[in-house]
Chain A
Amino acid sequence: MAEFLSFRTGDAAQEPAVTVEAFTGQSNATAVRIEPGEDARDLLPHLDRLSLVEVNFPAFGDGRGYSAARILREAGYEGELRAVGDVLVDQLPAMRRCGFDVFKPNHPLDDAVVKTSLERYDNVYQKTIDGRTPVWAKRHPEKIDG
């Protein structure tokens, strides 16, 4: 059973994450934690000094963290993006697609189920920042650059 899942190479960030308010108010923190009601765009001016963003999911049904993750990746953030809290195994594929690369769920996940969940879909309909080729691009390779 996995309590900590990483899809990054190298060691996970160790510094404890501070709140968004504390982070934007102090110059030296490199890790921050976003709560559902907070605006990920507040972090965009500081991406160069960030090595870890934790996005908290107090309840699995609150999907605001998916938008937060994509916004950070769309702005070019390449550091660790960690989903923490009430994260369920069936949510991993969508979270990966939104740019999360580390997971620290409240309840450990079954490794075998994680593996099959993530490998289940060979095709996706949308282009996101995860680099997967959407179905429409496979259908029209001549129209797509790069």
Chain B
Amino acid sequence: MYRYDQYDQEIVDARVEEFRDQARRRLAGEMTEDQFKPLRLMNGLYLQLHAYMLRVAVPYGTMSGKQMRMLGHIARKYDKGYGHFTTRQNIQYNWIKLEDAADILADLATVEMHAIQTSGNCIRNISSDQYAGAAADEVADPRPWAELLRQWSTFHPEFTYLPRKFKIAVIASEEDRAAMRLHDIGIELVKRDGKVGAKFFVGGGMGRTPMIAPEIRDFVPEEELISYAEACLRVYNRYGRRDNKYKARIKILVHELGADEYRRQVEEEFAHMKTLGIDPPVAELDRIRAYFADPAYETGLPEAVDRSDPDFALWLDQNVVAHKQPGYAIVNISLKPTGGIPGDASAEQIELIADLTERYSMDEVRVTHAQNIVLPYVKKADLYTLWQQLDEAGLGASNLDLITDMIACPGLDYCSLANARSIPVAQKIAQRFADPQRQRDLGELKLKISGCINACGHHHAGHIGILGVDRKGVENYQLLLGGSGAEDASIGTITGPGFGEDGIVDAIEKVTDLYVSERQEGERFLDTYRRLGMKPFKEAIYG
């Protein structure tokens, strides 16, 4: 994985001092809260309902054991002993004091981490495929490209006050595990004439107006990646709407201009950008690539796994994924135990994962956009002992991609924007469907919950989505069906009138019951819905 050189380290260290000075000026009253707000936001510090929330960047979701351990240390020392992994592969802490923020950043900097641009109207943490480097189906490892973009976007002087936040994802497989087309810019690495380049999709997103990004360019060569990205951003910075916060994302610009006209403007700007010499030499991408070379795999390892422990066998079938290297496997650690808070981990659990990362996964760990953890390089021979240690720590849930593996935003329990609580609803659904046999019978079913229209819980992209709204002071939950954040991306449709907290759980049970009775061989819930359409589901719910 990537390691900082002296330049990267100096930049992050300087950022700590800059923020320390900004916080000091704010605490001394030299700055108003209005003036301080964009500065703290640019560093991931939000003022929430009860305290400050700090969001720490995990670039493209990849960390070492040492970095993971630091996240546990921060949870223990500065928070109430928990961290919350997010849909941008980051981690956030909900109980932070402004006085401590600079010290936390200083601690992070000792392990090559930061909170730069984890909020604010700027380019956010670049996300990627959690199986990058370990998946058999990728064209190339997408992370060197993501790292190049991370550096380019860090303190980009022109794009620090964009109309709105800006999210980029990079993937390199046809199977989309990162909701790439629901990003402001989604990049898919593709091969043409033996060379890897970037296919650009621009103008996707969730929020109030969900959009699937149209393809804007089929191939950008690696030596022009930065010029092209810069052209995309410049057109947006100049012409994105600033009159209405809810129409300010690039998806609205692309939609209003039309993909063809946006493309034309980008091409014009790109032709100009290419002449400026702003692209790093290919040697720079090669330098970064060297950090992502395959780890030192052992050969001749056994393939067979002893399945005699039935609980282990269940976990193996559900949470362990094929690896490109013989003798190895990709392990998913579910952060969705029944009754838990999706994405939450205690300091002890984080530290345990750090230990297991070092012991069993060649010192690399990933965060997924579905708020789970991945150990990407585990020997099959170690799977059983690894599982035992996970299970003992409450990390052994065998529910990857099942109905209880939900994405949920923090909701009204923490977030000042929320209209409704998400966590209690997630917990009630998990309890209703707690029977593992029933979950497995329902199969792949991506359920996603947002506590407000901003859609942090990706409800538009859920096979089943739930949107919490405030109806005359009462929490009300709308049900959506048919969304997908994968390569078959689609936006869910609202079934009809919303429900109360218990009613929404009943409604979900009605649609899953209908699926069970109507499904054909091999169909997932989403497939059955797409074949039958909304009508029978609506009848089952409201009939």
Contact = CB atoms under 8 A, between A and B. Distances in A.
Interface string B3-47: 001011011001001100110010000100001001100000000
Given A60-B38, A70-B158, A93-B157, A125 B121 contact: no
Interface in A3-41: 36, 39
Contacts of A116: 21
B238 A67 contact: yes
B102 to A, nearest CB: 14
B257 to A, nearest CB: 15
Contacts of A83: none
B458 to A, nearest CB: 27
A78 interface: no
Contact of B154 (A117, A125, A140): A125
Nearest to B22: A90
Given A63-B162, A98-B157, A138-B7, A74 B151 contact: no
A74 B145 CA distance: 26
**Residue from B22, B38, B155, B157 whose CB has the most chain A CB atoms within 10 Å:** B157
A93 B151 CA distance: 17
Nearest to A99: B157
Contacts of B154: 125
Contact of B10 (A67, A122, A137): A122
Nearest to A127: B278
Contacts of B22: 90
B121 A126 contact: no
- Contact-size category for B: 35 or more
B35 A123 contact: no
A67 B10 CA distance: 27
Nearest to A36: B242
Given A98-B158, A122-B10, A127-B277, A64 B238 contact: yes
B11 A125 contact: yes
Contacts of B14: 120-123
A18 to B, nearest CB: 22
Contacts, number: 106
B247 interface: no
Given A61-B121, A90-B22, A120-B18, A126 B283 contact: no
B152 interface: yes
Contacts of A134: 280
Nearest to B240: A64
A63 B281 contact: no
Contacts of B161: 60-63, 66
B155 A94 contact: yes
A2 interface: no
B278 A63 contact: no
Contacts of B159: 63, 66
B191 interface: no
B157 A140 contact: no
Interface string A103-146: 00000001001001100111111111100001111111001100
A143 B162 contact: no
Interface in B60-118: none
B284 A140 contact: yes
Nearest to A97: B157
A63 B38 CA distance: 12
A110 B8 CA distance: 29
Contacts of A64: 237-238, 242
B156 interface: yes
Contact of A140 (B5, B39, B234, B281): B281
Nearest to B162: A63
B121 A136 contact: no
B374 to A, nearest CB: 28
A126 B157 contact: yes
Contacts of A97: 157
Contacts of B278: 126-128
Contacts of A95: 157
B450 interface: no
Interface string B146-188: 0000011011111111110000000000000000000000000
Contacts of B158: 63, 66-67, 70, 94, 98, 128
Contact of B11 (A60, A113, A121, A128): A121
B237 A67 contact: yes
Q: Which of A70, A122, A136 gathers most chain B CB within 10 Å? A: A136
Given A121-B14, A127-B276, A94 B160 contact: yes
Interface of B: 5, 7-8, 10-11, 14, 17-18, 21-22, 25, 30, 35, 38-39, 121, 151-152, 154-163, 234, 237-238, 242, 272, 276-278, 280-281, 283-284, 287
The 7 closest A-B pairs by CB, nearest first: A63-B161, A97-B157, A136-B280, A94-B157, A143-B281, A135-B7, A136-B284
22 contacts: A36-B242, A64-B237, A67-B238, A90-B39, A91-B160, A93-B155, A94-B155, A94-B157, A94-B158, A95-B157, A98-B157, A121-B14, A122-B14, A123-B7, A125-B152, A128-B157, A129-B276, A134-B280, A135-B7, A135-B151, A139-B287, A140-B283
Given A36-B242, A63-B163, A121-B155, 4 more contacts: A63-B121, A67-B237, A126-B152, A126-B157
